[in-house]
Amino acid sequence: MAPIKVTKICCIGAGYVGGPTCAVIALRCPHITVTIVDLNQDRVDAWNSEDFKLPIYEPGLEDVVRQARGRNLFFSTDVDKGIKEADLIFVSVNTPTKKTGVGAGFGADLHYVELATRRIAAVADSSKIVVEKSTVPCRTAESMRTILEANSKNHCRFDILSNPEFLAEGTAISDLFKPDRVLIGSLQTEEGLEACRALADVYANWVPQERILTVGLWSSELSKLAANAMLAQRISSINALSAICEATGANIDEVAHAVGCDSRVGPKFLKASVGFGGSCFQKDILNLVYLSESLHLPEVAAYWRQVVEMNEYQKRRFSKRVVDTLFNTITGKRIAVLGFAFKADTGDTRESASITLIRDFVAERANVHVYDPKVEEEQIWMDLTEAMPQLPAETIKKQVTLCSSALEACKDAEAVVIATEWKEFTLIDWETVYANMKKPAFVFDGRLLVDAKKLKEIGFKVTVIGRGNGL
């Protein structure tokens, strides 16, 4: 059969995955027209904004969009037009954890994937390559193919590929420019392999051939879940050891460095913290738990469930340590929380440890003052009201104040809690902070970010995750 040449790409979904990924494809492939479509008018307007106030904060993204937008990169709400004109369609829609029904709390909600797939079948009037870009359970491609074949026009054929993303928020653009690997899964048929080659040729415009891995469809789907589960497992493992360090007087930084020097282990993802967050780790592990239970593998499910339980324990343990250190009560006390994003260099707050900490502090009737340099106020209020459904929004706003700077948040506070590792928090004038705080002044470093020795010399009582008090 004749080789497939991709000249027009459509991406359904302009979120954290679809937007940056397809913007980089457009930049690196000026001969391919890339259209990113989304039904959310406000989001599309932000992508098209004259001042480039994009709906996603990601270092380097604005520069990519500036170079490609209007040349061969376009953003639109006309989903049908994008589908009709494309040779290849990325399905990059949200797949949140189900909140109700079978698999609630564990399984992925594939509602948006199904809607997108049905739309492709209804609108397409020529053959297409359809690519799973969203993180999905194993064998989702089989369901997509069944829907497409049952609803397509007679002269249309669809080839399904899996092309999971392995981006880390905060470094997504550099990850896309120089990926560790690009994974493409296909059916091992002549048509499937040809579709796989077509997508591989797109990436080959800038990715070395040896980093483009082509595998079976089901292996590709499972690899994404497996990669995130094993990374999260490392974080939960080092966090479990941080609790032991605090109890024994060991230093988690020293332990992690010693372990990471072993070439069989390596140093990455061995930094203790108040807990991991983001859109992928917890969701993908829970998805793996659900898959294991569905396959009647209860021991496997229990193993992976423990990674999530350890993460939740770490958050609870840290908030309890704050209360215990502040003389067993924070009622009426002013607590500054620095950072609301789940990690630095992103505006994403999904599963952020800050949400859990603030919820716990509010439950203890503290007055919480929050500052984050990139997260919008509207997003913070949305996350907090969702985390505390039993409390009216007015009640939450009486106990939580959003601040415009770290110094404002810390003024008159009795304790400062560092919840996100923003670089600017290392540059704070801590002497000014100390002068304007109530005494004794406490700092709780949940990200191993600040120089504890220097802060103690200023006069702070410093508690660092993974280190015993007074050590």
H/E/C letters for each residue in 1-64?
CCCCCCCEEEEECCCCCHHHHHHHHHHHCCCCEEEEECCCHHHHHHHCCCCCCCCCCCCCHHHH
First-to-last C-alpha distance (Å) of the chain: 70
**Binding-site residue set for NAD(+):** 13-18, 38, 43, 93-97, 134-135, 169, 280-283, 350
Average pLDDT per run of 10 along the chain, which is 471 residues long? Answer: 86 95 98 97 97 95 98 98 97 86 81 93 94 83 90 88 93 96 96 96 98 96 93 97 96 97 95 92 92 95 97 97 97 98 95 97 98 97 97 96 98 98 97 97 97 97 88 44
Contact 370, 332 (CB under 8 A): no
**Interior angle at CA 274, CA 55 and CA 226, nearest 5:** 70
CA distance 471 to 467: 7
The C-alpha R_g of the chain, in whole angstroms, comes to 24
pLDDT one-digit tens code per residue, 206-261: 999 999 999 999 999 999 999 999 999 999 999 999 999 999 999 999 999 999 99
Two tokens at 388? 């505390």
All domains of the chain in start order, with CATH: 8-207 (3.40.50.720), 241-464 (3.40.50.720)
| Cα angle value 304/448/383 (rounded, 5°) | 60
pLDDT on residue 471: 44
Helix H segments across 326-450?
Answer: 353-363, 377-387, 393-399, 406-410, 430-435
Specify burial of residue 114 (Cβ count, 10 A radius: 0-12, 13-18, 19+): middle
Rounded CA-CA distance 235/165 in Å is 20
Model pLDDT for residues 78-108, shown as the tens digit of each residue? 999 999 999 999 999 988 888 888 888 888 7
Mean of all residue pLDDT scores within the chain: 95
Question: Residue 143 corresponds to which tokens in the numbers above?
Answer: 């369901």
Annotated binding residues for substrate, written as ranges, equal: 165-169, 224-228, 264, 271-277, 342-343, 447
CA distances from 117 to 112, 125, 418 (A): 8, 14, 43
Which pLDDT belongs to residue 88?
Answer: 98
> Residues with catalytic annotation?
280
H or E segment at 89?
A: strand 88-91
What is residue 104's predicted lDDT score, i.e. its pLDDT? 80
In the 3-class helix/strand/coil scheme, how is 283-315 assigned residue by residue? HHHHHHHHHHHHCCCHHHHHHHHHHHHHHHHHH
Asked if residues 124 and 152 have their Cβ atoms less than 8 Å apart, the reply is yes
Residue 158's pLDDT is 94
* Residues 66, 26 contacting (CB under 8 angstroms): no
Residue where the block lists tokens 């048929």: 189
Alpha carbons 372 and 374: distance in angstroms, whole number? 6
Other beta carbons less than 10 A from residue 468's beta carbon: 14
CA distance 279 to 350: 6
Q: Specify the pLDDT at position 107.
A: 80
Binding site membership: which residues?
Answer: 13-18, 38, 43, 93-97, 134-135, 165-169, 224-228, 264, 271-277, 280-283, 342-343, 350, 447
Q: What is the pTM of this model?
A: 0.90
